[in-house]
Amino acid sequence: MAQLFFRYGAMNSGKSFEIIKVAHNYEEQHKRVLVMTSAMDTRSGYGRVESRVGENRKALAIDEETDLFQVVKEANEEERVYCVLIDEAQFLLKYHIEACARIVDELNIPVMAFGLKNDFQNELFEGSKALLTLAEKIEEVKTICWFCGKKAIMNLRVNDGKPVYEGEQIQIGGNESYYPVCRKHYYHPPLQDLANETEES
């Protein structure tokens, strides 16, 4: 039976690489997948999924107007879709996630959504909140804190070497703007130590 999956993790935990790997595994067996991503994330260009290890592939960009259920329904009528894979799912809106649930329930196609759970202020994104409510399977993609060996559970936003705890929820960025961190280093990040190490190297 098809299910709705939510795989979440802090920044830099390999979520995009996991999508590319899962897509490859399906396609190696000649099973068609639909790879999608939020239109908001344009770091690698519009409609692309790219991992930090350099792997990337084209994806359907989801914006506010996208009727996700209809897109998948029509694609499945043209040629069977075995799985829908969605990157940056935290940026989706509640009705997008409800459409994902309909894809699972009415079309019997599994949907695997990957994304952040909480923002830089440790508030849930709208898409993540809906996924936590509706997904049958919720799994964590683990990574370690930028400053120590503990598990990273938060995302620290930085600007000019200083931590940022206020501002707009969405600010697209990579390692130059965000660090995956443990709770201790979210509140007390040793950014000066990091700056000193960078200068020495």
Burial of 137 (0-12, 13-18, 19+ CB in 10 A): exposed
Question: Which one of the listed residues 74, 78, 88, 176 is annotated catalytic?
Answer: 88
> Residue 127 and residue 89: Cα distance in Å, rounded?
6
Alpha carbon distance 56, 156 (integer Å): 25
Identify the burial level of 188 via C-beta atoms within 10 angstroms of its C-beta, where 0-12 means exposed, 13-18 middle and 19 or more buried: exposed
Nearest to 116 by CA among 155, 85, 165: 155
Distance CA 184, CA 192 (A): 16
Examine the residue annotation and report whether 88 is marked as an active-site residue of this protein.
yes
3-state secondary structure of 17: helix
> What are the catalytic residues?
88
